[in-house]
């Protein structure tokens, strides 16, 4: 199962974004492969929060357009929304203790714990995911 982080969703959707072509190609390959795609709410809400923010994008995406984009992903037959399961708190704690910090890695560890619970592979441009023991991780780069 493919589980993109928020940056992959943003870069794939924003033509001016760094690594747009790489992210878009990987997203299209995942959606077209027939394999499962897992979208946790933390990534979806991060996409919505950032893509509609005028302090991040000079021309932010209108909320209705961003929501339609998300609806398109969520209605895709290969997509499932992933939620934290019963082992989430223990996994999250072990991941954070394993890297020796929380801080800026907290949301990444949350995503990693969801991925581990669901047997998914996190796909990201962020190398920090490689720090989490037991996580399957695909590092995208230009």
Nearest alpha carbon to residue 13 among 41, 50, 42 = 50
* 5 annotated to bind ligand: yes
Q: How far apart, in whole angstroms, are the C-alpha atoms of residue 39 and residue 107?
A: 14
* 108 annotated to bind ligand: yes
- Residue 15, pLDDT score: 84
Tell me the average confidence (pLDDT) per consecutive run of 10 residues in the chain, 142 residues long: 96 88 93 94 97 91 96 97 98 97 94 98 97 97 80
For 111-138, the pLDDT digits (tens) are: 999 999 999 999 999 999 999 999 999 9
Burial group, residue 120, by CB count within 10 angstroms (0-12, 13-18, 19+): buried
Report all structural domains of the chain as residue ranges with CATH numbers, in order of start.
2-134 (3.40.50.1010)
- Residue 59, pLDDT score: 87
The label of the residue with tokens 């990444």 reads 108
> Residue 52 is encoded by which pair of tokens?
């509609």
Q: How far apart, in whole angstroms, are the C-alpha atoms of residue 88 and residue 110?
A: 8
Angle at 112 between CA 32 and CA 107, to 5 degrees: 110
- Residue 72, pLDDT score: 96
């Amino acid at each position: 199962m493919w589980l993109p982080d928020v940056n992959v969703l943003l870069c794939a959707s924003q033509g001016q974004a760094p690594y747009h072509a790489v992210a878009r190609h990987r997203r299209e390959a995942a959606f077209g492969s027939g394999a499962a795609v897992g979208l946790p709410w933390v990534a979806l809400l991060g996409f919505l929060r950032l893509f509609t923010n005028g302090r991040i994008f000079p021309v932010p995406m209108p909320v209705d357009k961003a929501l339609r984009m998300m609806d398109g992903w969520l209605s895709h037959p290969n997509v499932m929304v992933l939620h934290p399961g019963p082992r989430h708190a223990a996994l999250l704690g072990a991941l954070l203790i394993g890297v020796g910090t929380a801080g800026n890695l907290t949301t990444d560890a949350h995503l990693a714990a969801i991925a581990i619970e669901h047997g998914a592979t996190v796909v990201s441009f962020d190398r920090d995911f490689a720090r989490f023991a037991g996580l399957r991780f695909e590092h995208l780069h230009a």
